[in-house]
Amino acid sequence: MTIIDKILCRPCIFCAIVEGSTPTTLIYKDDEIAAFNDINPAAETHILIVPVDHVKSVKTLTTDHIPLLEKMHQKGIDLLKERGHDPEQSRLGFHVPPFNTVDHLHLHVVGGAMKSNFRKLKYETGRMWYMDLTQLQANLDKKRRLQEGARL
């Protein structure tokens, strides 16, 4: 949720989608994660995978979230394969605040032909604004080591 959403008491749109209180069709849902198509796809396939419980962004994660992140990533790979895409040629990642627009953690699963060169750049992993699972895990490990070091 953004600060504006909080001030206006606007609920989180992705929580509403996961709860089924919007017309958005869920592609997948279990107790921990849900998947649905992006409203403004950047490519032939553009799915969002979110935690069922509200988690704000990559900035609020800890190493305890790694199993959840791995599960989201694996579901993304499965959905890409089901749609005939090679996961190695696809773009799975998270926009890093302030480069995100929705404050409910979401994994972008982007496969097939991209709609524009700008979208290619926006969903290019290795950039400071778009992080893949490996980068995120490394960052979380680093954060944990720094916190452990500070406690010594």
104 touches, from Zn ion, ligand 5GP, none (C-beta below 5 to 8 Å by class): Zn ion
Catalytic residue among 46, 65, 95, 106: 106
Question: If binding is defined by CB under 6 A, does position 24 make contact with ligand 5GP?
Answer: yes
Judged by CB under 5 A, the stretch of 73-81, 85-93, 99-107, 144-152 that binds Zn ion is 99-107
> For residue 22, how many other CB atoms are within 10 A of its CB?
13
Size, binding site for Zn ion by CB under 5 A: 5
CB of 147 to ligand 5GP, least distance (A): 26
Judged by CB under 5 A, the stretch of 11-19, 32-40, 113-121, 138-146 that binds Zn ion is 11-19
Question: If binding is defined by CB under 6 A, does position 39 make contact with ligand 5GP?
Answer: yes
Site mask for ligand 5GP (CB under 6 A), range 78-107, x = bound: -----------------x----xxx-----
Calpha distance 107→96 (Å, rounded): 11
Question: If binding is defined by CB under 6 A, does position 123 make contact with ligand 5GP?
Answer: no
Provide long-range contacts, Cβ within 8 A and 24+ apart, for 130-137: 130/91, 130/93, 130/94, 130/95, 130/96, 130/99, 131/58, 131/93, 131/94, 131/96, 132/92, 132/93, 132/94, 133/69, 133/70, 133/73, 133/92, 136/58, 136/61, 136/69, 136/94, 137/66, 137/69
Question: What is the binding site for ligand 5GP (CB under 6 A)?
Answer: 13, 24, 36-40, 48, 95, 100-102
